[in-house]
Structure 1
Amino acid sequence: MGILQGKNILVTGVLTDGSIAFHIAKIAQEEGANVVLTGFGRALSLTTRIAGRLPQPAPIIELDVTSQEHLDGLADEVRKHVPHLDGVVHSIGFAPEAALGGNFLNTAWEDVATAVHISAYSLKSLTMACRPTFKDGASVVGLDFDAQVAWPKYDWMGVAKAALESTSRYLARDLGAENVRINLVAAGPIRTMAAKSIPGFDEFEKVWNDRSPLEWDVTDPVPAAKAAVALLSDWFPKTTAEIIHVDGGLHGMGA
């Protein structure tokens, strides 16, 4: 029997079979979970196609986390497929091109606001939209990229990730009484669709290859996915407001 046997898990952000979110959904199913996916706009067709590569069929709900209408209707849409949710995976992030690539000092507020709204505030929006479906608590897991330091070319996306980390702590504070756990998995660089949109991504790869004490493979999303699945399970019943690093140990190394 798997560690998610009988649990109902909502997974956002499944766009390619190389993404962390896809492997979370895959491993979750293998561990006994009923998985529901979300997608939006042009990406919805990608999610639909990639869902066919999962071990089992998974229903897909259209969800734009910036649309209050979609958020207000999410609980009802979820209940069409599962009676309640035991876990939610937040794998959502976006920054306009002007907010990345070394343009930090010149980025307009409108672009910064978009990055923070979609990449950080959406954790709160998604959690609250799913809250009516939680039964006897739930585990919410977000995907992070360590925001303790400034990274090359990451710019306002790094600021958005710092906001995501802070948001997770405040959600953990305010929802703990309902037995809702909020945690993040800070993965090292993975060659995902999102990574390809970051100018200078190869600089991240070089940093990890040089400094990570454990060998790091930028093509392997499975270690981060396994950490997320573990957090979705009952094996971390008293862990919340935590950031689990799955980065080969680089976060603990000095210069």
Structure 2
Amino acid sequence: MTDLATPGSAGLLNGKRLLITGVLSDMSIAFQVARIAQEQGAEIVLTSFGRALPITEEMTRLLPAPAPVIRLDVTRPEDLERLPLEVTRHLGALDGIMHSIAYAPPGALGGRFLDTPWQDAATALHVSAFSLQALTASCADVLEDGASVVGLDFDASLAWPGYDWMGVSKAALEAVARYLALYLAERHIRVNLVAAGMIRTVAARAIPNTDHLETIWRNRPPLSWDVSDPTPPARACILLLSDWLSATTGEILHVDGGLHAVMT
């Protein structure tokens, strides 16, 4: 399957200016969002920080066109305060934000749910859920009316063995998205999530019991699912970042081969 447009041509995101977080490898859903966004006519900036920063900068070489990388740690108020100035310098304003940020300390994963200290749980919630509010609020003054905010989710209606406080954080992320959808509606800013099935990303490899999750997605979805292909959820993000779903907000779009809907 080919994309609908090449860089600079009229596509779903022609003329859009997007901030994209979470580009760590070509297996990142965020990387595929960045790639397809450019192919669909968008201008983008990426964010990264710390040891991941040079990795993200290296990944820009694999994109259809060069993209600047802004230093951003969503847990640091000074980075969030500086972000609008950086966005203005590179893009002027934003028509969309792609939130692809999640982290839980080892003590919050792997079946240690009952023993997880608050500090580890708080870190998971801060980075993985509150950051959606923090990032969106930071960019409020540079977000155009009618913009779209999209975040990556993992079905929080179920308890996944080993996922533990990251699962709780994803449930919190879903609530944060709904409240943002409520309070940003007066500016016609849409906030939606894509609940992706299991993809073999850098973040997924850090989760204990990943092999078990991969087995589930190889065998149980009614539609075939490739754990090494992040393109399907990335395409859903592109659709939500476009103007095609202009009346959709507070939604969780499942792109998981249909696993969430069936019992097998």
TM-score (norm 2): 0.96
Aligned equivalents of 1:206, 1:52: Cα separation in 2:
33
Aligned equivalents of 2:187, 2:162: Cα separation in 1:
39
For residues 224-254 of structure 1, give each alpha carbon's deviation from its aligned partner in whole angstroms, at most 9, with x where no partner exists. Answer: 0000000000000000000000000000012
For residues 15-68 of structure 1, give each alpha carbon's deviation from its aligned partner in whole angstroms, at most 9, with x where no partner exists. Answer: 111110000000000000001000011110110001111000001100000011
Q: Which structure 2 residues correspond to residues 148-167 of structure 1 after superposition, within 5 A?
A: 148-167=157-176
* CA deviation after TM superposition for structure 1 residue 209, in Å: 2.0
Q: Secondary structure at the match of 1:80?
A: helix
Q: Secondary structure at the match of 2:149?
A: strand
The answer to whether 1:186 aligns with 2:195 is yes
Counterpart AA for 1:44: L
Q: Provide the residue aligned with 1:233 in structure 2.
A: 242
Q: Provide the residue aligned with 2:90 in structure 1.
A: 81
* CA deviation after TM superposition for structure 1 residue 216, in Å: 0.6
For residues 102-153 of structure 1, give each alpha carbon's deviation from its aligned partner in whole angstroms, at most 9, with x where no partner exists. Answer: 1001000000000000000000000011111112221000000000010011
The answer to whether 1:50 aligns with 2:50 is no
| CA-based RMSD | 0.7
Q: Provide the residue aligned with 1:129 in structure 2.
A: 138
Counterpart AA for 1:86: D
Aligned equivalents of 1:253, 1:2: Cα separation in 2:
34
Q: Provide the residue aligned with 2:258 in structure 1.
A: 249
The answer to whether 1:141 aligns with 2:154 is no
Q: Secondary structure at the match of 1:58?
A: coil
Q: Provide the residue aligned with 1:6 in structure 2.
A: 15
Q: 8 Å contact 2:101–2:128 — kept in the other structure?
A: yes
Aligned equivalents of 1:15, 1:206: Cα separation in 2:
24
Q: 8 Å contact 1:19–1:221 — kept in the other structure?
A: yes
Runs of 4+ in 1 over 2 A off after TM superposition: none
Q: Which structure 2 residues correspond to residues 160-239 of structure 1 after superposition, within 5 A?
A: 160-239=169-248
For residues 134-188 of structure 1, give each alpha carbon's deviation from its aligned partner in whole angstroms, at most 9, with x where no partner exists. Answer: 1222100000000001001100100000000010001000111111100000000
Q: Provide the residue aligned with 1:39 in structure 2.
A: 48
Counterpart AA for 2:26: D
Q: 8 Å contact 2:218–2:227 — kept in the other structure?
A: no
Aligned equivalents of 1:146, 1:166: Cα separation in 2:
13
Aligned equivalents of 2:62, 2:112: Cα separation in 1:
38
Aligned equivalents of 1:162, 1:203: Cα separation in 2:
21
Q: Provide the residue aligned with 1:93 in structure 2.
A: 102
Q: 8 Å contact 2:20–2:44 — kept in the other structure?
A: yes
Aligned equivalents of 2:77, 2:30: Cα separation in 1:
23
Q: Provide the residue aligned with 1:24 in structure 2.
A: 33
Q: 8 Å contact 1:152–1:203 — kept in the other structure?
A: no
Aligned equivalents of 2:232, 2:13: Cα separation in 1:
17
